[in-house]
Structure 1
Amino acid sequence: MYNINDDSQLRYTTPRKTWFVLFLSALLLGSCFWWITNAYSRWLHKEVYHDASVELAANASSLTLALERRLLLSDGLKAFVDTSLMDSHKLDANHFNRFAKSFIGPIQGIRNLSVYPGGIAEFVYPLQGNENVIGLNLFKHPNPDIRENALRTQHLNVKTIFGPFELTQGGLGLLSRQSIFVQREFWGFVSIVLDVPPILEEAGLTQVNKGIDLAVKAGNNVIYGDASLYERSPLLEKIYPAEGKWEIAALPNKAKLSAIDTKVQIIQLIFLLALILLIYLIYIQLTQKHKLQVMVNERTNNMTRANQQLESTYEELIATEDELRTQYRLLEGTERTLRQMAYRDTVTGLNNRIFFQERLEETILMAGSKNRRFALLFIDLDQFKLINDTLGHSYGDLLLKEVGERMTMLLTKGESFSRIGGDEFTIILPYLKDQTHLHQMAQQVVNLFQQPFVLQGMEYYVTASIGITVFPEHSDDAELLMKYADAAMYRAKEEGKNHYRIYDDTLNADVQEKIYIKNSLRRALENKEFEIYYQPQLEIKTRKIIGLEALIRWNHPKRGHIPPSIFIPIAEECGLIEPIGEWVLRTVCAQSKVWQNAGAEPIRVAVNLSARQFNQRNKLTELIKSILAETGLDPAYLELEITENLAMQDENATVLQELRDLNITISIDDFGTHYSSLSYLKRLPIDKIKIDRTFVNGISKEPKDEAIILAIMLMASHLGLTIIAEGVETTDQLFFLQQNHCHDIQGFLYYPPQQADTVLRILNSHSPDSVLAAEKQ
């Protein structure tokens, strides 16, 4: 309000109401700013702890690898001693020293390798500096912890880790010990003494770390870092080398946390200045309004009221117009979003199937009206499923995005590129000049895949197969153009992948053939056209028949024998593999029981499971239980063969365990022919691995195949898995496998696949002694 002073001048006094509004505004805005800065601070701390957790996990993984790399030496030393004892029944010191010298190689931090026959140290490498180890009796060692560790290792027959402890030569060390049994009798120990610092250094824990503080605890002893870190609610990662337990603790360091505080303080300062500015503007607005009100002459009150009414109406109109504009903008945004959702692929941002189908129809109409040719390219990635299954869907999505980016750079104006689903893409070339132009474009697409794709810092090679149709030569119908392009693409895959194929009439014949096979398959079960053959499996040491593999055959009424390589992929594609697989399981179990009732010795029969059958999971387990109950077959005489890809999928582990709990044998078929991680072999309930015939064929011909077989058998031996080699056809293959301790074999060298009525005669007449005697002649 205004007061009149003695000089008849007006003086403005701020009303209390204005101060109250300013106070409320400051309180409200200040609370909002305080909440925002605190939320921002919490988010920054969360991100720092998340980064610390990721870095801790990486360090834990590196430490695990560094430990396991050295502990694997114990397995190698044990295998050396086992082999030496098997060959000569004794261990030679010179042979041991040569082996140990070459075995350690570039691995840092190995203090010594030693062998304790009967628990007494007899062999040690290097001897220099370890002379006091010779003659040491672990069972009478003055250190009770070492005596207890030796007894525990002997009785449990496991690899143990002891320490850390102070080494006699100085420094901190670990000891890995493992028992050796000869014909189930305790023979002695193998031991490896390790330096702790090189392990920590190789794992990267001793490097200057700008982000986190680390500490490592082995058992109850802190061997690296600040022990007080464990009392401050740290992030923890646990690892379990051998029978030991290690913990790695981490917290973001002070520099990291101080940086957060600095950021928050800067934001708070900015918000404080903004708050002051806003309060000042509000003050100006409020006081100006009051000044105008007290300066208005009372004689113009009516006019003022009228003006106020006009202003109010005008403000309402402005508000209404603003609301309409806002709603219009919202509608426009919603329309754009819906259009994008309808025509855009959510993973890659490319055009989707709906867009492609509409564009193809439009292109047909335009090309037909102007008497113009155009081409349709149908692209399918060759190795996408392998990457998606082994590395995960996140890697698959990254790969699809990379493909989209490369292809988009290749296209020119008017050409459209779409992802129509999975790993399938299409290109429409609306202005096709001639065949040379088509070939050049197709080859450019193939060349795009010759360079590796970088996913999460790693390089992966993926190729593409392309099928091509041309309008109007091949068809003027969108559906047929796509169908023919699909047929051409599959022919490109059959011809070796990584190239393109233009549709021709012979491909249409292939499509018709595929349809004929599919229709015939639907009647084959009903007409009992399938038959099971059985190929015997022999124990290589005794030549005794220890199992059979069930192999399906199709006797077509018009075409005769149709190979499984032709009809099995089609059955999987159209979903008929599930009823066919169920028929095989039921037939094999019933036939096995018939042989037993006829007096044959019970024998295990192996049945292959397809991916579609295995994906039924709980239904598969219940189906097998039902068949076993129905036929009365003991589960111990049923073996299920699965592929490596199925075994690697974590979601299948539960089903495998359920089947294993039924006492069913689980084996991996065609082992070594797929890209995989071998870690699944120790995690999953697997009994047997089958060496693929492609490796067996290379025996005495290809040294690399022989090396792969030796590596598989050595690994399987340490994991306690049975090894069977398929496709054994020559005596050279037999003797190689026998000399390298393969357990079982299967192949035409002894028996081709047999019909069911022939198997009973073979089981009753087969004489292992006669087979061995014949081989010696």
Structure 2
Amino acid sequence: MFNAVSITERFAAVPPRIWLTLACVTLILGSLVHYLTDSYRDNLIREINRDTAYELSANASALATAIQSRLLLTNGIKAFVINELTHTGALSDSRFHTFADNFTGRIPGIRNLSIYPNGIARFVHPLTGNENILGLDLFHSEDAEIRRNAERTKLTDDMTILGPRELTQGGLGLLSRQAIEHNGKFWGFVSVVLDINPILQEADLFNGDKGINFSVRGNSLVLMGDPNLFEESAIIRKIELSDGEWEMAAVPNRERLESVASKIRIFRTVCLGSLVLLIYFLYAQMTQKARLQQIVKERTHNLEIANKKLESTFDELTAAAYRDAVTGLYNRTYFNEQLVHKIESGRLAGETLALLYLDLDHFKMINDSLGHIHGDMMLKEAGRRLAELPFPEVEISRIGGDEFTIMIPRIESMEQVRQLAHQVRELFQSPFVIRDTEHFMTTSIGVALFPLHAQDSASLIRNADLAMYRAKDEGKNQFRIYDVSLNPNAEEAMEIKSSLRVALAKDEFTVYYQPQIEVESGKVVGLEALIRWVHPTKGIIAPNNFIPIAEETGLIVPIGERMLQIVCAQSRAWLDAGLPPIRIAVNLSARQFAQKDLPERIGAIVGEHGLDPQSIELEITENMAMKEDMQPALHTLRDMGFTISIDDFGTQYSSLNYLKLLPVDKIKIDRSFVSGIARDRKDEAIIVAMLLIASRLNLTVIAEGVETSEQLAFLQENNCHEIQGFIFHKPQPADQIARLLA
């Protein structure tokens, strides 16, 4: 009782102004805690929403690609039917099943391929499970929607899409149809029926590890996920198809949102605890009257310590909001804010900023096979290596998954950018030792520069990302600097992609030849074969507008073989006309080199035309030549008598020491070095070094892109063997080349 009275008296003795002061301080600091908590929560939610939007866009793109690539089979069936009607006058079950089996057994999600002469189903593959389709009359179907679709398809040359809907043979599917005319009259339809679930699985929409709930809707029918997502505040993306559109919705799942709430609770608890501690010290300080000076100093000192702890806690929590928990590097939030800031600073100072966009090669395979713990250890080691880069003012971030970014300000030259990217690539050449086991993981790097390649942060990120994906497409473990060819007009790219197969079937490709001149004699000693696409309406289309798309779709393989056939046939024709033999150089793509029977295929084409393999030169890139798995094919081709040359030599930092081990006969100096002659001493020094090394290794050297007399004189003085460029001849069709050879 005494203690209770004593405490009451002590509180009553405190002057009102002290209570008022403490109340004001509590109100102000409490408001600050509330503001900081809200800001922290908003930042976390924004980051989750950005990740969700990014994943949604990626999955929507994957789903659209999976659907469109299968719907294009309608064009293939149509071409098959027209070809059969033209050459045989009728269709046969056996030939149709043989043709259709190439697709249904290899591509998941294809329910059946069918043909409807006069609108009645007569041919279906596979027949098993689809027997009830045979005899189905589309124009007299009991289903009004099927009848309307048949009438609409008959009146258009374009593909139509029906569905998603319940199929006649059971299950949920998507149908595409296309009308066929023969001899100027309507003949019938071809149709492709797709299963929905395998396509959704291919688009990775059932992966629960992403922390995102997806929902897909097409034709007002929800195909997967919670239909309520489309009515809530979810992120929604349209999926444009050739005939109609679907929608995808996504929201972070409960676990991700609960993780945000947990972080907020910890943040609020720490702040409130610090606030209580501070108020206590304020109270003690303000209510002490008759203390000795020493006690006053001690209390003051304790208060200062408390303030420092509060500041330190605040700084740590603020830093945590900008740090990646796995690697300790900056996170996506910090990266996005700093990139905007650095672009504005660079704009004001007139300086160049380099953005390197890294994606770890094969990380998903390692993560899936060894588990997330091993995966996190790999990411941590990758972050440690990147953090040791000796670049001044560099800022490194992990922006999600296995993707990292590096921002480097005050770039002075493109050569410096190449050196920096090469240094980053070299960090991943040594093995990652995780729990006493070596793992090999390389990186693909895309590089974009401000202001050369983009004027804002979003465009700079997009262009660096495009360059990174091109580096992956070209074989991984390399870097690619952005150029405009990586970002063609989307509609034009889709048109080219859909026209390439037709161009191949109609033999719309031709070959131009650029002479290669021997420096010592001035004679034409070789030709480089350069493919051209003669489009029926657009005229001649340059290779850089369709080759990347052909690489992406895999059509580069048949196009490359067709080009070699044209070259061999032309070489045979020149020989039969009495012209002297001439060596012709043909480029090989990475996709072609991935074929296990490449030497046999090339040998068969050359042998078919009765040519000596020594008359054909095969050009490959540095990256292709450096890969261990390509060495056997190179040795085989060289043993067969073909000349092997490295194109664009010096642009990818291949090992000069390794060059002596490669089965090559010739190197081609890239035009980027030739253009620096008389302008850049570094380029001249590199060319002289290449010529010296090639001389010691008994390799022939040819320089491409020679356009000026200064460039020609420099190359002559330094004993370059052969010249190719506009200073002598532009690429020409075969009939004009014949006059040069005569």
TM class by shorter chain equals 0.3 to 0.5
TM-score of the superposition, structure 1-length normalised?
Answer: 0.45
Structure with the greater alpha carbon radius of gyration: 1
TM-score of the superposition, structure 2-length normalised?
Answer: 0.47
